Structure 1
Amino acid sequence: MTINRPGLPGDLPSAEVLWARWALVAVLEATAKDERAGRHRTGTWVDDQGLHLDDSGCTWWGFARRGEGRYVLFGEDESSGVKWHRPPVDMLVGAPDWLPHEQLRDLLSGNELGCVYWYENGAWTRAPYPASLDDDGLDCGMSRFVDRKDVLRTIADEDHAAVPAHDAETLLGHAEAYRLSPALLMSLITAPDWREPDRPAMTGALELAGLHRA
């Protein structure tokens, strides 16, 4: 799946699918050590505020549930030209009142926000962009979760589950169906000698992510 520059709402999969893919990577990366890092944490993770991605340099993103069927995606990649555009682009034009407006306005005031997308009634929406805007950062920031093949490669690599392709497909398929139990997760993941999975942290992240619906 290709993301346009700037992004279009139709470039993103459903919020539920995007959540499942992102959350699975967060679960596989979870460690107690990273959890203790607090606000200085980097990588991909889940907490009680939602999903996060931060490489401590070029890109950071947040993804949060805002009630039944409602989600907000916001963040910045260095490729985004939104906050530098003149005249300024109001990223919250048309935004519903259920968005975390105080948080978003705070990020805007600190010149830290590159784009905002929201999801409701089965569809993504964002503010309108001027024709002169070249990029909002969605491609560089989110393509890793939008392209399913990229997600499968990430799951299978040695920094994550270190599994064969068919097991990566099983993990992702169950995550996308919200049927990923702790037992199935632990039965499939392996690791090289230098990286022992932090199973308690991963199980806790799985619960927070909500990828196993009874």
Structure 2
Amino acid sequence: MHTPSRPEDLDHPELLWARAVTMAMVDAACNPGTEFALDDDGVWCHSTGACGWWRLTVLDGGRAVFCGQDPDGSRTHVDGEQIDFLAGGPDWLPWGLLRDDAAGNLFGFVYWWEDGAWHRIPYPQELEEDGLEGAAAWVGSHEEFLGLTVSSYDVPYRLERSLTAGVARFAELARERKADADAVTALVAAAHADGGPAPRIDVALDIAARAGILA
């Protein structure tokens, strides 16, 4: 990933949606205090550590928005002022939502997908880092996605290899929107393999249905 990050650092939004939904399902099913949520605005991670966050919104017409912040890595003030991440953005952006984020000084990066590519504002030369890698390295790395998802299971290291393979298989189904109840159950039930607390399968199924990844 570049420093600061560039639009080409992000994978296709369909792939990102599959990854984000998979992470949200596993974490919500296996951790009562999950930091993930799915609502009308997209998939959220409310805390990536040190109060970082991200949100992926997929809109009609194949458009998408990915935004967030890494407080330790988003060094996006120039001459004491936060840069305007929304300057010159297209009309179709969810402006109300994004302006609320901007008013809260919550942005370290804002990317939007249109016409087959990711875009962002031109960064000032003084901007050294936007924090994308710190907050969401998984947007450009399948390995980062797998590692983050498996970490939500909270199982012994010896089980991680088999869990990683299962997560990878499920993410493929999710991208093709061909997952089913059995696949969802198998994905989250793996957390119970070593005698840990039973995962909340109903929560995972609800997320999968609302995210539109079921066949």
Change in Cα spacing, 1:171 to 1:42, as seen in structure 2 (3 Å) is closer
Unpaired stretches in structure 1, ≥5 consecutive residues = 35-40
Question: Could you tell me how far 1:147 is from its partner in structure 2?
Answer: 1.1
1:16-41 deviations in Å (ceiling 9; x for gaps): 1111111111011224995xxxxxx7
Deviation by residue 1:42-80 (Cα, 9 ceiling, x = unmatched): 522322321001227331111112212011111111111
- Alignment RMSD, CA only? 2.4
Matched, 1:92 2:90: no
Whole-Å Cα distance in 1 between the matches of residues 6 and 46 of structure 2? 22
CA distance in 1, matches of 2:87, 2:150: 40
Q: 1:175 to 1:160 in 2, by over 3 A?
A: farther
**Match for 2:38 among 46, 57, 61?**
46
- Structure 1 residues 91, 10: CA separation in 2 closer, same or farther (over 3 Å shift)? same
Match of 2:50 in 1: 57
Give the alignment partner of residue 111 of structure 2, picking from 113, 117, 126. 117
Structure 2 alignment gaps of length 5 or more: none
Which residue in the other structure is 2:96 paired with?
102
Paired AA for residue 207 in structure 2: A
Give the ranges of 4+ consecutive aligned residues of structure 1 lying more than 3 Å apart after TM superposition.
31-34, 154-158, 160-163
TM-score with structure 2 setting the length: 0.84
Q: Indicate which of 1, 15, 21 corresponds to 1:23.
A: 21
- Aligned ranges 1:165-180 → 2 under 5 Å: 165-180=164-179
CA contact (8 A) 2:31 2:152 kept: no
CA distance, structure 1, for counterparts of residue 30 and residue 23 of structure 2 = 16
Q: Secondary structure at the match of 2:23?
A: helix
1:135 aligns with 2:133: no
Instruction: Kindly provide the CA deviation profile for residues 141-193 of structure 1, in whole angstroms up to 9, marking residues without a partner as x.
Output: 11034210122233444627966143232112212222221222213431242
Identity over aligned pairs, percent = 30
For 1:196 and 1:49, locate their aligned partners in 2 and report how far apart those are by CA, in whole Å: 29
Q: Which residue of 2 aligns with 1:195?
A: 197
Go from structure 1 to structure 2 and tell me whether the alpha carbon gap of 1:170 and 1:107 turns closer, same or farther (over 3 Å shift). Answer: closer
Which stretch of the first structure deviates more once superposed, 143-152 or 12-21?
Answer: 143-152
Q: Which structure is higher in helix share?
A: 2
* Deviations 1:116-156 (CA, angstroms, capped at 9, x unpaired): 11011221000010112100111111103421012223344
Residue in structure 1 matching 2:61, options 55, 60, 68? 68
Distance 1:158 1:88, change over 3 A: closer
Cα 1:104/1:157, change in 2 over 3 Å: closer
Describe the shift of the 1:184–1:88 C-alpha distance in structure 2 as closer, same or farther (beyond 3 A). Answer: closer
Does the 8 Å CA contact 1:29/1:45 hold for their aligned counterparts? no
Note if contact 1:152-1:172 (Cα within 8 Å) is conserved in structure 2. Answer: no
Q: Partner of 1:30: helix, strand, or coil?
A: helix
Whole-angstrom CA distance in 1 between matches of 2:131 and 2:107: 10
User: Using the alignment, how far apart are the partners of 1:210 and 1:10 within structure 2?
Assistant: 26
Q: Which amino acid aligns with 2:36?
A: T
Instruction: Report if the CA contact (8 A) 1:7-1:135 is conserved.
Output: yes
